[in-house]
Homo-oligomer: A and B are copies of this chain.
């Protein structure tokens, strides 16, 4: 499981086993065994690998990439409250080892804003406060109204487009 992650990240970085072992300062035999699934590395070893791969250590524990999630205003599992004047929807539970920066964005209608992909593993969360917008990965764009929530991978080409003046939304940018 960690084995696969190491192999994945190494091939993504285009490094050979020998080269990575050298950069990380560990024996290539060690790395070989790790990728073979034999072993239970020490944190020191993993730290060296993560540093050499220039990825957060967390990434070596992940298994899969996320997909999109759309929660319309009024939808979603409601967390009930003792007091009936309060209702909350958990839109996204944070996976371990990610950063989530919070933005407030105002956007005007105009041409479609096409974003070049962000670093691998990035996820964007959009919650529309006012107005109307179309947003999402290529081919999976959605029209969001006030109260709608949509999250999708940010490491694929995607676009933003305000459909009303002064469209206001909250964006949580998630990076591994």
Copies in the complex: 2
- Give, as a whole number of angstroms, the nearest-CB distance from A158 to chain B: 14
Report the Cα distance A109→B174, complex, angstroms.
33
Given contact pairs A41-B43, A42-B40, A58-B58, A85 touches B100 in the complex (Cβ within 8 A): no
Comparing A17-25, A86-94, A136-144, the segment that makes contact with chain B is A86-94
Q: In the assembled complex, which residues on chain B have CB atoms less than 8 Å from the CB atom of A125?
A: 102
Please determine whether B102 and A86 come into contact, CB atoms closer than 8 angstroms. no
Q: In the assembled complex, which residues on chain B have CB atoms less than 8 Å from the CB atom of A46?
A: 43
Please determine whether B83 and A91 come into contact, CB atoms closer than 8 angstroms. no
Please determine whether A96 and B56 come into contact, CB atoms closer than 8 angstroms. yes
Given contact pairs A101-B93, A102-B92, A107 touches B85 in the complex (Cβ within 8 A): yes
Q: Select the residue from A84, A103, A147 with max chain B CB neighbours within 10 A.
A: A103
Please determine whether A85 and B105 come into contact, CB atoms closer than 8 angstroms. no
Q: In the assembled complex, which residues on chain B have CB atoms less than 8 Å from the CB atom of A127?
A: 102, 104, 129, 170
Q: In the assembled complex, which residues on chain B have CB atoms less than 8 Å from the CB atom of A129?
A: 127-130, 146-147, 168, 170
Please determine whether B90 and A101 come into contact, CB atoms closer than 8 angstroms. yes
Per-residue contact bits, chain A 101-115, to B (CB 8 Å; 1 contact, 0 not)? 111111111110100
Given contact pairs A40-B44, A43-B43, A170-B170, A85 touches B97 in the complex (Cβ within 8 A): no
